[in-house]
Structure 1
Amino acid sequence: MTNQVMDIIKSRSSIRAYKGEPLTEEQKAVLQEAALASPSAMNLQPYKFIFINNKSIIEEMEQDVVNFFVAMGNKEVVERLKSRNNKVLYNAPCVIVIAIEEKNSYAKVDAGIAVENIALAAKSIGLDSVIVGMPGVVFSGEKAEYWRNRISIPEGYGFGIGIAVGQADMEKAPHEVDPSKIITID
């Protein structure tokens, strides 16, 4: 039996290099629709979806993430970043930040559901993505207020998760499945 949704799920992988070509208005609309269609606990929808399509803002955020870890002296992360040419957002033309209500205890789970909706929708229209948590550091450090204002995170909300989306500039196979992760109780 063929199943389009399962085919998309099984073909998706985390892409860490993008061509940088801007998304079309139609592509953005599909991603926005997928975000808004995400289920949430008690349908409270404790999130705001911030679509960043401005290359200079994306690059500035990426540089501030790198600067954060350098200033912390976290050698392990700094070396990992160096091995990726200090790329965190990988030249993606669109970065979506999911800001979540800080007082909603289900918001992190709801953001996780929403980011997967976006990732699968992206794949379904020929785009690729990588889910990113690392940019969250710029919303907790000394530049937190600057970044909250820079990308219009509303009062009472904080960084939940992000996703970089675009046309892949690399190939990567999906991860291998591990059936031992399944426990069945009948």
Structure 2
Amino acid sequence: MSEVLDAIFNRRSIRSYTEQPVSREQLDILMKAGQAAPSAMNQQPWYFVAIQRKEMIEELASLLNVEEDPYHNAPLLIVVFADKKAYSPVTDAALAMGNMMLAAQALGLGSCWIDYSRHVFNHPQFAGLSRSLGVPENYFCVGSLVIGTPAQQPDAHPVNPETMTVVV
């Protein structure tokens, strides 16, 4: 099986990470993978904010008063924004995030899509938060990824054949 298919079929959402940081080289690859995603009319309407400062991730986690750590103690949080004026901003940003998750898998890292960030960054109460991180005006948060070395690897799950139809 090819490395690409291996990454696709073996990637799992990881919700428990070791303290080992993601290296600068790995981070660069992850960001480039996101930038290499397809986008409608090649607009590339995304903006990525990579956060490795543990105290900043913890502060973001506390903003909406949830009981458990929404970021699963991961050493890297990538928050993904998209231009409101783009033709297909949510789809384009989601494809970029998918590329980053597959790149993480190929690098031996784990990842998980975290929707919590969308609720924080798009909440009127925290309107200045995006700006403080350098996000351009007229961008909104689509979601975020936590990435790091998995503390445990979940078992593979079977594909559900009832979720597809093949017409020949």
CA RMSD of aligned residues (A): 1.4
Equivalent runs, 1:109-128 vs 2, <5 Å: 109-128=91-110
Instruction: Count residues in correspondence.
Output: 168
CA distance in 2, matches of 1:109, 1:173: 29
Match of 2:144 in 1: 162
Equivalent runs, 1:87-106 vs 2, <5 Å: 87-106=69-88
Q: Which runs of 5+ in 1 are unaligned?
A: 68-80
More helix by share: 1
Match of 1:75 in 2: none
Equivalent runs, 1:28-177 vs 2, <5 Å: 28-65=27-64, 67=65, 82=67, 86-177=68-159
Give the secondary structure class of the aligned counterpart of 1:51. Answer: strand
| Aligned CA distance change for structure 1 residues 154 and 146 (closer, same or farther; 3 Å) | same
Please state how far the C-alpha of 1:45 moved relative to its aligned partner: 0.5
Q: Deviations over 1:112-131 (max 9, x none)?
A: 11111000000101100001
TM-score by length of 2: 0.93
Q: Deviations over 1:129-168 (max 9, x none)?
A: 0011111111233432232133222101010121100011
Q: Which runs of 5+ in 2 are unaligned?
A: none
| Aligned CA distance change for structure 1 residues 134 and 98 (closer, same or farther; 3 Å) | same
* Aligned AA (1:55): K
Match of 1:13 in 2: 12
